[in-house]
Amino acid sequence: MPALDIGWVLVAELLTLGLVTGFLAGLLGVGGGMMMVPFLTFIFSSRGVEPGMAVKMSIATAMATIIFTSLSSVRAHHQRQAVRWDLVKTLAPGIAIGGLLSGAAAFAAIKGQGLALFFAAFNVFSAVQMLLDRKPKPSRVMPGVVGQTAVGGGIGFISGLVGAGGAFMSVPFMMWCNVHIRQAVGTSAALGFPIAIANTLGYVIGGRDVPPALPGAVGYLYLPALLVIALASVTMAPLGARVAHNSDVKGLKRLFALLLFLMAGYMAYKATTG
């Protein structure tokens, strides 16, 4: 097992990552996982972790940080009345079931390179949908309880495979159903909490027999990164939310799409070279 000195360089890397992803979590309603996974993959790989395991550790650790980031982000959005709690209540049960199944079963069974490619493909798909800016039919609304439970299950399951808080699916879906982008972003931030709880529990169950790849790792979770990133991100999420409510809607969508393309490119590179 490679040795790791948890020194100032690593702390600085993780602190910077936490500050940036925390800001983006508040700005775009994401839990930060979509941005975090590629950078954590680079950090772990540069310290000798096998590429496939580096991807899995990055996904699991990024998802665990969303537990803390989402709480900070949703509080800021709630204060601006941008959270549709009625939608949170109907989407959350399916999300919890899908997330637990994903983290406890599918995640451990799929190879790290496969997860990286899946991550890249979904980023590209989400970015294209955001850039197309197709206007939904005025009559389209959110489906009923059964439909939202099913959609939530899909969001929770897929989010667990890529380590994201679900915004890359929930935001476009809610906008497709004529939910305003600022409410979609705020509601997505609230949905990040059940997604993160369910999937992290699943990772713990699925990775209970996985030997630590680095000192400080417990299964797929890398606890030093979780601690530093969580502390940094929760301080920046409220600032991101404040900026979001004073920003141009189209600009937010373009920024979201650009970031998704960049992250997709890196993860595709890791999958094909690892």
pLDDT, tens digit (0-9, with 9 covering 90-100), for 155-176:
888 888 877 777 767 877 888 8
Looking at the domain assignment, is residue 1 inside a domain? no
- Report residue 221: phi and psi, to 5°: -90, 135
Task: Output the pLDDT for position 270.
Answer: 67
Task: Output the pLDDT for position 222.
Answer: 92
d(CA 190, CA 139): 26
Task: Output the pLDDT for position 4.
Answer: 46
Looking at the domain assignment, is residue 209 inside a domain? yes
Tell me the range of 28-32, 62-66, 139-143 where mean pLDDT is highest.
Answer: 62-66
Looking at the domain assignment, is residue 39 inside a domain? yes
Looking at the domain assignment, is residue 2 inside a domain? no
Q: Choose among 226, 32, 188, 233: nearest CA to 95.
A: 188
Greatest pairwise CA separation for the chain in angstroms: 59
Q: What is the dihedral of CA 143, 70, 117, 202, to 10 degrees?
A: -90
Range of the domain at 229: 8-273
Number of structural domains in the chain: 1
Q: What is the pLDDT of residues 14-28, one digit of tens each?
A: 888 888 877 876 676
Lowest mean pLDDT among 91-95, 194-198, 270-274: 270-274
Looking at the domain assignment, is residue 38 inside a domain? yes
